[in-house]
Structure 1
């Protein structure tokens, strides 16, 4: 389940990263035909691989090996489906086929739904061809259509958190929020608030979507309820979980608030286990709640959001620093845009997979073990939980040693339960291990995020941004040499980089094209007034500044005029000009007040 959630996240990122150029590579009909052929190839591949595994079983391959290869094959095909999705997106430009969908180009929710639908179509092919082996391994009576429908229902509900959060965040774009929520920290806080709201209020919606029904009243149910009450564990209900048709052997706890908290048990597990084993399963799920695992998972999601936000600009700047990458971005060609999307997606996806597969996976395994140990401590006897795990492993096709990135294998779980029974100190030791791990992780990640934020505000990062902006403006000037605002922006960046000679040449060229443009006059006046020799020319600075101010007496133009008066020794006029600017209440008024003080000090010094 958790592995599939990770692939859904990757699918969303893959689909969102690609941006098409202005020039289409192929006609839409041809793109659609090629996409259909690629999907047909994936379907054929699934049929062949599952067919080979069935043939190997018929030839005598042991069932436990068949089960291990079966689950491994499903996982690998799910990952391979991401490769086919990437092919659709980056090579076949399938996103161009959905531009007609209302909101597709503006809403991340709409475009994300389309991307997930394409990926789910590939998963449906996997489920279709996996069904015969699944039926033989588990002995299920569920038909193929119900099996596939069950998968769709289950994973669609798992995607509900993303859909809810994306929809709310899209809607909030049209709402006037406090300025704080426009900042990076505010965005993370907003995401956390929306996610927390979802965790608290969504369980009733999800269980209805899954069509869960209350576990029928029986002596076993009543004793399970009494078991929960005796341990002060409140919940809304025990529900039958129709996971993959209901024959799957699984249980889960859903919800944080007691009123909206449910323990879900599949029909298959309810029939498989006796009362004491069911109590052990309930105690395990109780451990997740009592040890606040949902809050830890929420914190891990928020930590990833914070880290992704902190490092996003750095990764992007590092790429755009390369001229050949920037040329792809500025190109109107779809191939160039796709190449950039592919290159940029590599570190983004690598960090995402590493974080969730290894860091998040470590905490999930550790939490699952803590829930096992909580159940042991609650029951005082490992036998019910051990026997329930053994039954699940046997009836699932002999999966005692099946590896999982988010769960220890069943054999490892049983060994730990027996070891903790022999040495109860292991329970407290594991609790301390989880606490230490979380503290070290959040402290370390916090330091990394702090370092990233500091770097983003450093002179080095600022120089990177200026270099990129210079390259962009150079490219735009090559396309259109008659836009005065480009000369203004380009010269301003050149002066910030102290490239005064280049700035003067650009501004003089711009002035020849637009002799009376106040913006160009102002920038050239500022250069002549503030640049070091041999570029300083106070007299020419004043001449240009007066011309600019006569046409456009804005605060920044009056500031240039005041500076020109100042470098020409005309302090009273400089003071009058800067005060005229201050009267207009400009932004960053503190700068203008500092200028006023500088001119006033010069005037007083002259009068002494």
Structure 2
């Protein structure tokens, strides 16, 4: 499940940065070319699994399982590569956004894309099943095996869909003031808290419904587990049977954060094959996860990934901006250049997310598991029954007990540490201190990240640095300053990004003296005059004059949006509504449509407020 988390986050970030315009694709691919890429992926995956199957008799069971696990993960990673290729080489995202209902609820487009990616993963699981069955790792049918793998993705998809989908639906409610309140910093914080509360309260029930969990029937095992929960002062909503892959896997879990909405899960194999003492030890381990707040910490550690990634990018962006400005042909259109930088940011954030989850998140997962192992000592006099349970798991799984993975220590590593604690309980305190210290370091880094981001954003400091770097790169080009004359609004754009409004206006006005009919310069200067926060720099009449000229030359959606804003600040609300409606009908980009709709709501409120 944790590997699925990495893959889905990588796909979501890639989709977010994929081009929404067909003009920005890296090739002239057609939508149906996705079928070619999918077919190529299936052929490659099929050949690799067939090659593995031919060599099964030549290796031991442990070796075969190790190689098969690696092969399956490699093919899942290859699925990410092929799917991202679909995003950047074919107009998949523009095609999805052209569907009427999706243009209003953008989360649906990402969800459809995720389902398509899930199709690649289903193909991998479908091919891997016969190999795992041959090696005795699954006793369920291929169809059930694939279904169970898909169900393991539910804890990732359900919260994400709920969080962003509900927000999209709320934004369909008309009203500029409502949209502004929801999208403000305070509104987003309130929304986050409400959705996190909903996730904690109802999220587990929804996931467990998809998993098909049912209560452990009354009997000695249930009575013993309930007695242990009382002894450990542990509250949960229910103890459930977990039908994971037919219940044949020896495993258990605790799911949920709030005590009354938390569940203990046990597979049938665990209930059937664990001795009473071993069952106590396994349950104590799961109670340890809850007592140490590991699930809440998981969410917070993943949440810390985004600000950390953006901060690192803020530093890396400077050399990227310099090199791209220094060497990218100036003939590249401004929109293409901006998308080029956006692509670089997207590639970095995908890489950062994978590395962060693999190493930082993986580090805490491994150490939280060990901390839960050691919590057994707070409930039971000895953790030796957990050792015998680990040995059973190793024996019946057929896997090497020496082999760790990125999110768990190897079983022998866990056994060795428990045996050290049996002889000297100080090792328990040492590990708990290690986890506490690691969490404190993470908190310090996270707070430092937020402070650093605030410092970079303060008074446009980061944008001023970007402006200086861009100008330095242009001066280093033999043709740099000459090319500025060919792109008259570029210097004004850079000053505007750096929040130097006076210099931006001056640069735009000078650019118009050289190229009086440049629609981009007319539009940007009109928008600056219309929306400038400094009242002394606002010029509503000049804004309307410039916007009208820009629309005559190039009646594109973003220029119509500027004209509508110019009408609005001049009190011409009916004209603003009419013009903004035209812009909204012409704009294919979902993000821009949302912004344009907010503007239209504002104009409608102003117009209707004047009517008796």
Same fold (TM over 0.5): yes
The 5-angstrom pairing of residues 113-512 of structure 1 reads: 113-138=111-136, 140-174=138-172, 182=183, 187=188, 190-308=191-309, 319-320=320-321, 322-323=324-325, 330=333, 342-457=343-458, 460-464=461-465, 505-506=510-511, 508-509=513-514
Q: Could you tell me how far 1:62 is from its partner in structure 2? A: 1.0
Does the CA-based 8 Å contact 1:108-1:170 persist in structure 2? Answer: yes
Q: Could you tell me how far 1:39 is from its partner in structure 2? A: 1.4
Q: Could you tell me how far 1:511 is from its partner in structure 2? A: 8.1
What is the rounded CA distance, in whole Å, between the counterparts of 2:111 and 2:238 in structure 1? Answer: 32
Name the structure 2 match of 1:56: 55
Name the structure 2 match of 1:580: none
Name the structure 2 match of 1:7: 7
What is the rounded CA distance, in whole Å, between the counterparts of 1:312 and 1:469 in structure 2? Answer: 17
Does the CA-based 8 Å contact 1:18-1:338 persist in structure 2? Answer: no
Name the structure 1 match of 2:36: 37
Q: Mean alpha-carbon deviation: is it higher for 267-276 or for 143-152?
A: 267-276
Deviations 1:56-92 (A, max 9, x none): 2212x11111111121221121111111111111122
What is the rounded CA distance, in whole Å, between the counterparts of 2:85 and 2:66 in structure 1? Answer: 29
Name the structure 1 match of 2:554: none
Q: Could you tell me how far 1:367 is from its partner in structure 2? A: 0.9
Name the structure 2 match of 1:69: 67
Q: Could you tell me how far 1:9 is from its partner in structure 2? A: 0.7
Q: Does 1:17 align with 2:37?
A: no
Deviations 1:15-50 (A, max 9, x none): 12111435387999x734432222122222222222
| Structure 2 residue matching 1:253: 3-state secondary structure | strand
Structure 1 residues 110, 316: CA separation in 2 closer, same or farther (over 3 Å shift)?
farther
What is the rounded CA distance, in whole Å, between the counterparts of 1:277 and 1:551 in structure 2? Answer: 80
Structure 1 residues 31, 274: CA separation in 2 closer, same or farther (over 3 Å shift)?
farther
What is the rounded CA distance, in whole Å, between the counterparts of 1:191 and 1:550 in structure 2? Answer: 38
Does the CA-based 8 Å contact 1:487-1:520 persist in structure 2? Answer: no
Name the structure 2 match of 1:595: none
Q: Could you tell me how far 1:464 is from its partner in structure 2? A: 4.3
Does the CA-based 8 Å contact 1:215-1:238 persist in structure 2? Answer: yes
RMSD: 4.1
What is the rounded CA distance, in whole Å, between the counterparts of 1:65 and 1:116 in structure 2? Answer: 33
Structure 1 residues 411, 458: CA separation in 2 closer, same or farther (over 3 Å shift)?
farther
Deviations 1:400-445 (A, max 9, x none): 1232111111111111111111110111221111111111121123
In structure 1, list runs of 5 or more residues that go unmatched: 525-544, 555-608
Deviations 1:171-201 (A, max 9, x none): 3445656978645686466435423430232
Name the structure 1 match of 2:87: 89
Does the CA-based 8 Å contact 1:328-1:340 persist in structure 2? Answer: no
Does the CA-based 8 Å contact 2:171-2:179 persist in structure 1? Answer: no
Structure 1 residues 237, 36: CA separation in 2 closer, same or farther (over 3 Å shift)?
same
Structure 1 residues 169, 504: CA separation in 2 closer, same or farther (over 3 Å shift)?
closer
Name the structure 2 match of 1:573: none
Structure 1 residues 502, 280: CA separation in 2 closer, same or farther (over 3 Å shift)?
closer
| Structure 1 residue matching 2:402: 3-state secondary structure | coil
Deviations 1:259-309 (A, max 9, x none): 221111122332332222122111111001111112212322332244345
Does the CA-based 8 Å contact 2:97-2:103 persist in structure 1? Answer: yes
What is the rounded CA distance, in whole Å, between the counterparts of 2:24 and 2:494 in structure 1? Answer: 31
What is the rounded CA distance, in whole Å, between the counterparts of 1:125 and 1:96 in structure 2? Answer: 25
Q: Could you tell me how far 1:113 is from its partner in structure 2? A: 0.8
Does the CA-based 8 Å contact 2:492-2:508 persist in structure 1? Answer: no
Name the structure 1 match of 2:586: none
So what's the TM-score if we normalise by structure 1?
0.74
Q: Could you tell me how far 1:380 is from its partner in structure 2? A: 1.9
Does the CA-based 8 Å contact 2:14-2:346 persist in structure 1? Answer: yes
Structure 1 residues 316, 111: CA separation in 2 closer, same or farther (over 3 Å shift)?
farther
Q: Could you tell me how far 1:457 is from its partner in structure 2? A: 2.4
Greater Rg, structure 1 or structure 2?
1
Name the structure 2 match of 1:80: 78
Q: Could you tell me how far 1:232 is from its partner in structure 2? A: 1.3
Does the CA-based 8 Å contact 2:125-2:146 persist in structure 1? Answer: yes
| Structure 1 residue matching 2:153: 3-state secondary structure | helix
Deviations 1:364-393 (A, max 9, x none): 111111000002332222221111111112
Structure 1 residues 440, 189: CA separation in 2 closer, same or farther (over 3 Å shift)?
farther
| Structure 1 residue matching 2:241: 3-state secondary structure | strand
